[in-house]
Chains A and B, each alone.
Chain A
Amino acid sequence: MADKQTVRMVLPLAELPAFFPLLQQGLWLQVEVGCSVIELLTDQFGIDVKYINERITTLFLDGKALDDPETAYVKDGSILALSSAMPGLVGSTMRRGSHLAAMRGDITYQSHPEESGTGRVKIKLFNMVMSELGETVLAHGFWLSKSDLLEFLHEQEENFWSDFTASLDGDQVAPDELIEVVSRVVSSGETVLQVEFKS
């Protein structure tokens, strides 16, 4: 990530919902791969294992429902989706360790180890987990194409900009200049966006 240009934003926590669409679609993050899902979340994101066990009760790795995040391994390019418990029969079926897991046996993740190293993982956050972990994931920094970044910035309304600071590779950028600076200075391809929130 050090080789890419980095846009850093600091916003009030009240603006976290502006990032909810991105969090649902998923963010590409640079992580150490080959580890288990539990290790990824606890070691690399500092998420408490109690939170994982009690709140993240529905997980998918590459579209497969996970029953045991300790024996599910991420690789370069994995897509990990995190959710709280879901309603409905099918929602219940998808939960980790569900009594009804057999009903979705064809899409259940089957454990197999992966190679270690540095890679990218896409993390998607849904429902309550999105609100509760969004801040953590956004602070990690994520890859975003220049066009997607500009589209995101253009969509934001007045309140987003009202108490906002930004920098590009460490140099402060005024809020009302950010879009122009990104358009002009940021090279095409991907950039890193890192978002922090203040109370």
Chain B
Amino acid sequence: MDKILRINMGAAGGPQQSTEPAGEYTALGGRATTSMIVGKEVPPDCHPLGGENKLVIAPGMLSGTAAAMSGRLSVGCKSPLTGGIKESNAGGQAAQVLARLGYAAIIIEGQPAGDDLYKIYINKDKVDITVDNSLKMLDNYPLIDKLRIEYGDKVAYMSIGSAGERKFAAASIACTDMELRPTRHCGRGGVGAVMGSKQIKAIILDDADCKPRQPQDPEKFKAANRAFVEGIRKHPVSGEGLPAYGTNVLTNVLNEAGGYPTNNFKFGQFDGATKISGESQAELEVKRGGSATHGCHRGCVIQCSGTFNDKNGKYVTKQPEYETVWSHGGHCDISDLDTIATLDYWDDNIGVDTIEMGVTIGVAMDAGVIEFGDGEGAIRLVRDEVGKGTDLGRILGNGAGFTGKAFAVERVPVVKNQALPAYDPRTVQGIGVTYATSTQGADHTAGYAVATNILKVGGDVDPLKPEGQIELSRNLQIATTAIDSTGMCLFIAFPILDQPETFQSLLDLLGSFYGIDMTGDDVVALGQKVLTLEREFNKGAGFGPEDDRLPKFFSTEKLPPHNITFAVPDAELDQLYNW
């Protein structure tokens, strides 16, 4: 990945494109690339929907190679939702294709004059930026169907639905999966609105006649990949639980722990949890001729996704993830998988983040817009209000914080205006630290992965000693930032966590590909560098310590059944970035 494609949508006379050497970004990827470019080139005080913001798209360090699990794509910008720096990533095919085309990044800047809508086609020989107003206001599924007629089935598509064109702060960017369905989303933070502000509807990536990227040391790379795959397959999480039940396997466990946020974070347990659990979902999917085991990109050996059909065996959506089942399920007191699957379909089709949308509906329920438990009402809000851009839809489509303000709701579970995900911070205080302090806003994946030898850097960790939440969250955020740069699916975290030899095989993959020796210290250093940069950007955007806080009700309202509050002091939260 030795080049960067720069597209100026606001150039005089129409959009212009140029290619430049990747330079310092050659051996980086994913979040490291997007955050470094945004940090350098985007004024932190710019309007996120204006011409000064940039949309940066980057595959991972190992994307486009034969390495397993290497298909994550990162998209970075200043977020219209949080107002801070954003990196949002997704699976699907786009990362692999973009990397094989040789691009370390695509940087989209400026804004067109006029209101034409553009599509961008990229193959190994050319970049075509063309007006196509026939695509206006098409949602993702019919959009991809239409584009396939022109570009075929051997390409990868990135697109926005009507939500992105309307520049809703909850708008996502869809990436097509192996079946060319727009089911994998760069969901968080409104990146779809930024793409919409650049008036780009779709990016078509065509790697015909491109070869996989070749490692510096092919034999060592092959051996490392073999060990890596073996480690993933033998681990019970990545080799059994996730393929069998998907991420929704978490519902029963979180519910049992009393940390399953229910009815807009009022309770920690949901009576209907078993009905919408991963176990129940997998059973139903298989019974209806769908699948509970499916990969979102070529090279995935975990296969945590699936397909959800209706009772007549007709496709509805890809297997909804834990976060989606929670946000549209327990959070809203809905315990019907068909309703949740329908909501997931509409989120994907309109192009909105399922977490933000689900939390928003829960806030709307608290406001009395519809009742808790009203599944048909929830579908109507997404499909007919957000989907059609009505006045109510404009409120809801701009997220939970905006909706809370519009309806004077006090209980709004957001940090830096981004909706909290599916884990109550009162039950797992450490995740609350991550929600509060992450540069990304409330984000459960920001401090997600850890390897035993990363934790041992700078001292061993005694699991029986109550090490502070701050130190743990800090270490996790550093490690995750580094992994987000590799382009690897985060679910490699479990084999890495438990099996030092599997973590070593990841380092060997990176080392043998780039011809360098990588250690755990290098991984830590990369994570710290990127986090520091992101933090600086957010300071420039006006963020201060007061933004690294949870909503007050988490500290004052006891959560049943354990009746606990979030108790990590503010002074400790302010220490997280001291390294």
Contacts and interface: CB of A to CB of B under 8 A. Distances in A.
Interface of B: 235-238, 240-242, 244-245, 247, 249-250, 252-254, 256-259, 274-275, 277-280, 283, 304, 322, 423, 426-431, 434, 444-445, 447-450, 452, 455, 461, 463, 465-469, 472-473, 476, 491, 493-494, 497, 561-562, 564, 567
A177 to B, nearest CB: 27
Given A84-B236, A86-B237, A93-B428, A102 B562 contact: no
Contacts of B445: 89
Given A20-B279, A105-B466, A89 B476 contact: yes
B256 A103 contact: no
A4 to B, nearest CB: 25
Interface in A140-166: none
A132 B46 CA distance: 56
B427 A104 contact: yes
Interface stretch (A27-35, A39-47, A120-128): A120-128
A21 interface: yes
A97 interface: yes
Contact of A127 (B238, B252, B469): B252
A90 B253 CA distance: 10
A103 B461 CA distance: 13
A57 interface: yes
Interface residues of A, number: 41
B430 to A, nearest CB: 3
Nearest to B268: A63
Interface string A79-116: 00101111111111110011111111111000000000
A99 B450 contact: yes
Contacts of B256: 60, 63, 81, 83, 124, 126
A12 interface: no
B254 A90 contact: yes
Contacts of A117: none
B280 A94 contact: no
Q: By CB atoms of chain B within 10 A, which of A55, A60, A67, A89 has the most?
A: A89
Tell me what chain B mostly uses at the interface: helix, strand, loop, or mixed.
Answer: helix
A58 B253 contact: yes
A85 B494 contact: yes
Contacts of B468: 102
Q: By CB atoms of chain A within 10 A, which of B252, B467, B473, B494 has the most?
A: B252
A98 B444 contact: no
A194 interface: no
Given A90-B259, A94-B253, A126-B253, A85 B562 contact: no
A172 interface: no
A88 B443 CA distance: 12
B279 A87 contact: no
Tell me what chain A mostly uses at the interface: helix, strand, loop, or mixed.
Answer: helix
A58 B410 CA distance: 36
Contacts of A58: 253
A90 B259 CA distance: 10
Contacts of B304: 87
Nearest to B462: A99
Contacts of A24: 252, 274, 277, 279-280
B244 A128 contact: yes
B448 A89 contact: yes
A103 B237 CA distance: 20
Given A63-B561, A127-B252, A21 B280 contact: yes
B257 A127 contact: no
A60 B255 CA distance: 11
A65 interface: yes
Given A100-B450, A100-B472, A103-B472, 15 more contacts: A21-B280, A63-B257, A85-B236, A85-B241, A87-B247, A88-B444, A89-B449, A90-B259, A91-B253, A92-B494, A104-B430, A107-B259, A128-B240, A128-B241, A128-B244
A89 to B, nearest CB: 5
Contact of A89 (B253, B259, B447): B447
B252 A102 contact: no
B497 A92 contact: yes
B448 A86 contact: no
B491 A103 contact: no
Given A20-B283, A24-B277, A98-B463, A87 B242 contact: yes
Q: By CB atoms of chain A within 10 A, which of B236, B434, B447 has the most?
A: B236
A40 to B, nearest CB: 17
B239 to A, nearest CB: 10
